[in-house]
Amino acid sequence: GAVVSQHPSWVICKSGTSVKIECRSLDFQATTMFWYRQFPKQSLMLMATSNEGSKATYEQGVEKDKFLINHASLTLSTLTVTSAHPEDSSFYICSVGGREWSYEQYFGPGTRLTVT
């Protein structure tokens, strides 16, 4: 499977500030990456599908102006949480895959965001 990294692994920020999370595909070029959010003891909720060179596709209910996604290269996608609030505190995980990988998805290690 694909090797995926995320940075940072954890971050604490103050309410009202912005945080950027990076997702890198280390061993193959990923046209498509996915961003998930996972609250404690809950499932993975897809936030958006990130497409290299084009705009991300957001799931219903996810604010695109709050969660900015940039997929500028085939190995890097970034998620920026703007004007973060305590309710944005969560585990954010990216993955690579989709139809170019016969639907298989491989996940990064996740980023734990705490907003104080």
Q: Which residues bind another protein (CB under 8 A)?
A: 1, 32, 34, 42-46, 49, 93, 97-99, 102-110, 112
Q: Cβ 105 to another protein, closest distance in Å?
A: 6
Q: Which is nearer to another protein, 64 or 85 (CB)?
A: 64
CB of 98 to another protein, least distance (A): 3
Q: Do 26 and 4 contact (CB within 8 A), yes or no? A: yes
For the four alpha carbons of 20, 26, 29 and 34, in that order, the dihedral sign comes to negative
19 sits in which H/E element:
strand 19-25
Output the smallest distance, CB 42 to another protein, in A.
8
**Residue 35 token pair:** 């961003």
